[in-house]
């Protein structure tokens, strides 16, 4: 079986007028056996920069560790938190270093670009997806990854519209994820949805079909 499908899992990120919403399923499996229904795949790099990692769980945990190190050193060296586009490029370099023995992860980076720490309406929603060897693909609307990526593409293309508010975006992203993973045997067991706005970051757990 493909290394990217061994543990299962799916993630999606969508942008709105001045917010981003990240969502992931909660399953961790070993081939056909489900081991945990509590494994979130959205990780925080700074107060308004997040990364969703899907793929082989050991590499998710390794890559997140390396990214966290990078983000923490950034704060010490630059005196400010890392932004999503900066994190994307750092991640790309990190992954390409292992070009011929790659980390089996499909990351999606999302957050608010130019976040200065105050609610001044100057920050811009940012989302970018990368492949397992670090090819960056910046998007204006949404990005998906994981075992049900095809389903997620279909759902997102159908439901996404421009300039959604944070609440509308939450509903849309959750609907896309839930309906996509319900058709995928390797994803599911609940969802974790993180809404990122200038004012706050809110994480909600959705109890979906438990199968």
Partner 1 sequence: MECLIGIRGKDFVLMAGDSVAGRSVVAMKKDHDKMYQLSNRLLMAACGEGGDTVQFAEYIAKNIQLYRMRNGYDLSTKAAASFTRRNLADYLRSSTPYFVNLLIGGYDDSDGADLYYMDYLGSMVKLPFGVHGYGSFFVLSVMDRYYKEDMTRDEALVLLQRCIDEIHERFIINLNSFKVKIVDKEGIHVMKDLRPTTKQPEETPGTQSMDIV
In terms of CB distance, is 67 or 143 closer to partner 1? 67
Judged by CB under 8 A, which of 4, 22, 26, 28 binds partner 1?
28
Number of residues that bind partner 1 (CB under 8 A): 15
Residues 149 and 167: their CA atoms lie apart, in Å, by 24
Any contact of residue 62 with partner 1 (CB under 8 A)? yes
Residues 182 and 29: their CA atoms lie apart, in Å, by 16
Interface stretch with partner 1, choices 11-19, 56-64, 115-123, 181-189 (CB under 8 A): 56-64
In terms of CB distance, is 62 or 179 closer to partner 1? 62
Any contact of residue 163 with partner 1 (CB under 8 A)? no
Interface stretch with partner 1, choices 29-37, 86-94, 111-119, 160-168 (CB under 8 A): 29-37
Residues 84-143 that bind partner 1 (CB under 8 A): 101
Q: Cβ of residue 36: shortest distance to partner 1, in angstroms?
A: 5
CA angle 51, 126, 8 (to 5 degrees): 35
Any contact of residue 39 with partner 1 (CB under 8 A)? yes
Q: Cβ of residue 147: shortest distance to partner 1, in angstroms?
A: 16
Phi and psi at residue 36, to the nearest 5°: -140, 145
Residues 1 and 118: their CA atoms lie apart, in Å, by 47
Question: Helix H segments across the chain?
Answer: 57-78, 84-96, 149-159, 166-181
Phi and psi at residue 182, to the nearest 5°: -65, -20
Strand blocks (E) in 104-158:
105-113, 124-130, 136-139, 142-146
Binding residues vs partner 1 (CB under 8 A):
7, 28, 30, 33, 35-36, 38-39, 56-58, 61-62, 65, 101
């Amino acid at each position: 079986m493909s290394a990217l499908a061994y543990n299962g899992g799916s993630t999606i990120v969508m942008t709105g007028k001045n917010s981003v919403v990240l969502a992931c399923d909660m399953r961790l499996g070993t081939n056909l056996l489900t081991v945990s229904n509590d494994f979130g795949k959205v990780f925080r790099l700074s107060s308004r920069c997040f990364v969703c990692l899907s793929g082989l769980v050991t590499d998710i945990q390794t890559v997140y560790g390396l990214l966290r190190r990078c983000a923490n050193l950034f704060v010490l060296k630059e005196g400010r938190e890392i932004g999503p586009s900066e994190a994307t490029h750092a991640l790309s370099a990190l992954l390409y270093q292992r070009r011929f023995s790659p980390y089996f992860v499909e990351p999606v980076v999302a957050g608010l670009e130019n976040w200065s720490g105050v609610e001044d309406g100057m920050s811009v929603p940012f989302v970018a997806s990368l492949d397992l060897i670090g090819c960056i693909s910046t998007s204006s609307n949404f990005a998906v990854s994981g075992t049900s990526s095809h389903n997620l593409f279909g759902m997102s293309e159908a439901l996404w519209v421009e300039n959604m508010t944070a609440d509308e975006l939450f509903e849309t992203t959750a609907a896309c994820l839930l309906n996509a993973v319900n058709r995928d045997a390797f994803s599911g067991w609940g969802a974790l949805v993180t809404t990122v706005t200038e004012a706050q970051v809110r994480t909600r757990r959705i109890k979906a079909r438990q199968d």
